[in-house]
Amino acid sequence: MADAIYLFDNHTDTSTLELIGSHSFVIVAKRDCETCTMIGELLRTLSDRADVLLITQDDPDFPAPGSAEFDTGLEASFHLGVETVPTLIRFVDGIEVERAVGWSRTEWRRLLDDPNLGDSFSEYRPGCGSLSVDFNYAEHLALAHSTVRFSSRRVEISSLTDEWEAAYERGWSDGLPVVPPTPLRVHRMLSGTSMSPDDLVANVPPNLTPATVEKIAINAVMAGAKSDYLPVIIAAVRALASDQFNGHGLLATTYPASPVIIVNGPVARRIGMNHSTNALGQGNRANATIGRAVQLVVRNVGGGLPGGIDRAALGGPGKYTFCFAEDEERSPWGPISEELGIDSGRSSVTLFAGEGPRAMVDQISRTPDSLARSFASCLRSVGHPKLAIAFDALVVVCPEHGEVFKQAGWSRQRLRDEVNSHLLLDPLEVARGANGIEEGLLVTSDTPMIPKFRAGMPLFAFAGGGAGKFSAIIGGWVSGSAGSTPISMELIE
């Protein structure tokens, strides 16, 4: 059957043009194809025509010795865009004007202007896959003939050297094995974005080193990510490097905080992120590797090494990865990103500078007021029960708790207002030295009640399994201009 019209110069390079020369027809075939072998004698006969060039992919002697050009390295097949063999292509003045894919007696007769062609064969046979699109060759060909040229330094490793050990010894690892970022794997990763490899994404802290799409893709490979995840990783890097989020300060603090990444929008479902059971835990590739890739970018591009600029006294598991998707479909409130300025239905990431999660247990409350009081009681301990305003907080509300607020018609803001109404701290209780605790706030006799959190806090996300009345509190790092402000960033896909 005749396929769509292809422009010859969209599929060829100089060497292929020279091979084709003045021929009006090119036929691409292979021995390992029943359709090609069926018409093998016809192919040999056609190869005698001065205006026909026969190209064979897998056997230089097919259909007969000396009858065809052997497609060394499959370069001609790749540049001609051949996906099925046999393929017959017609050229006029060096420009492809038409092709027939597979064997079609009617089409081949018309293209070759031979009304008696192929009388002894069936009318139609579909053909076989071209070697140039075979899984074993396609990506290698795409890489070899890509117009993209990597700018990153190549590190050659001896065949006797363990790749994983070599990466660790060179300081590229976060302590866990990394996937060797070969050119083929990086090329495959780059297919996940429409951005160019040399596009600058951000100047990554702490060294404010330029991070191109290519550099991020390399670290995404090492993290074990798939190409579909790359737009999420790029958006997270952009958010981390923003002045608002203050990634440099977060890295340099001795506090045990790290970026918490929340993914919203269609991309979360498309790449199979976990927003349900064990959403904050292990087992989901997207959740695990997106967060890890961002951390590796900070380490390998930005220079954020533990014991160097990374001064965390204790650190935490979130410094490996802390990433999950929000359960928007069951959420009483819609996506957290919408509250932070992203239009509904848009794919985005939200970054929060947070510590590890702690459980908030309430298995008895069935009214929103009681549950809000429970949240407030647990939130009081963020940072320290006697410290106020200094720390933000993110509450990951589980489905069973969320259902209580949904049934009562409480919005996010209503819940926030109710929680904060129970978090007005008595100056006498939080003063330095009060209750025998030296830690606390400097207060005077006329200091009014002190809110635990600044305006807009705490944040509320929605995720988790359907059973278990256990929400989670993620305490934040220093808030405000001296610390970090949560930020949502829309994806570039």
Q: pLDDT tens for residues 209-243?
A: 999 999 999 999 999 999 999 999 999 999 999 99
> Are 234 and 90 within one domain?
no
pTM confidence score = 0.84
**In the prediction, which pLDDT does 122 show?**
92
Q: Which of 110, 144, 178 is the last residue of a domain?
A: 144
> Are 355 and 241 within one domain?
yes
> Are 198 and 70 within one domain?
no
Q: How far is residue 336 CA from its own chain's centroid?
A: 20
> Are 37 and 97 within one domain?
yes
Whole domain around residue 457: which residue ranges?
Answer: 164-490
d(CA 143, CA 113): 38
Residue 349 domain-assigned (yes or no): yes
CB 69 within 8 A of CB 54: yes
Residue 139 domain-assigned (yes or no): yes
Handedness of CA 114, 116, 118, 124 (dihedral sign): positive
CB 408 within 8 A of CB 367: yes
Residue 287 domain-assigned (yes or no): yes
> Are 179 and 306 within one domain?
yes
Extract the runs of DSSP E, i.e. beta strands, from 188-287.
Answer: 200-204, 209-212, 258-264
Residue 103 domain-assigned (yes or no): yes
Q: Which of 100, 116, 144 is the last residue of a domain?
A: 144
Give which of 411, 421, 424, 410 is closest to 368, Cα–Cα.
410
Residue 221 domain-assigned (yes or no): yes
Q: Which residue type does 330 have?
A: R
> Are 119 and 171 within one domain?
no
DSSP 59-128: -TTSSSTTSSEE-GGGHHHHHTT--EESEEEEEETTEEEEEEESEEHHHHHHHHT-TTTTTTS-SEE--E
DSSP 207-222: TTEEEEHHHHHHHHHH
> Are 120 and 194 within one domain?
no
Give which of 462, 463, 457 is closest to 476, Cα–Cα.
457
**In the prediction, which pLDDT does 444 show?**
92
> Are 306 and 177 within one domain?
yes
> Are 133 and 172 within one domain?
no
Q: Which residue type does 234 have?
A: I
Give which of 359, 260, 356, 262 is closest to 317, Cα–Cα.
356
Please list the residues that pair with 461 across neighbouring strands.
396
Residue 1 domain-assigned (yes or no): no
The H or E element that residue 360 is part of is strand 348-361
> Are 168 and 95 within one domain?
no
Counted domains in the chain: 2
Give which of 306, 305, 154, 321 is closest to 224, Cα–Cα.
321
CATH assignment at residue 17 = 3.40.30.10
> Are 178 and 67 within one domain?
no
Q: Which residue type does 257 have?
A: A
Eight-class DSSP state of 137: T
By residue count, the chain amounts to: 493
Extract the runs of DSSP E, i.e. beta strands, from 242-315.
Answer: 258-264
Q: Which residue type does 19 have?
A: L
Encoded tokens for 187 = 């090329």
Q: Which residues of the chain have pLDDT under 70?
A: 1-14
Residue 131 domain-assigned (yes or no): yes
Please list the residues that pair with 203 across neighbouring strands.
210
**In the prediction, which pLDDT does 475 show?**
97
Q: How far is residue 427 CA from its own chain's centroid?
A: 47
Residue 117 domain-assigned (yes or no): yes
Which residues have a Cβ under 8 Å from the Cβ of 230 and sit 6 or more positions away? 189, 190, 192, 193, 216, 217, 220
Looking from the CA of 101 toward its CB, the CA atoms found within 13 Å total: 13
Q: Which of 144, 175, 206 is the last residue of a domain?
A: 144
> Are 248 and 285 within one domain?
yes
**In the prediction, which pLDDT does 136 show?**
87
**In the prediction, which pLDDT does 6 show?**
27
Please list the residues that pair with 489 across neighbouring strands.
349
**In the prediction, which pLDDT does 160 show?**
85
**In the prediction, which pLDDT does 14 show?**
59
Q: Do strands 52-56 and 95-101 pair parallel, antiparallel, or not at all (unpaired)?
A: unpaired
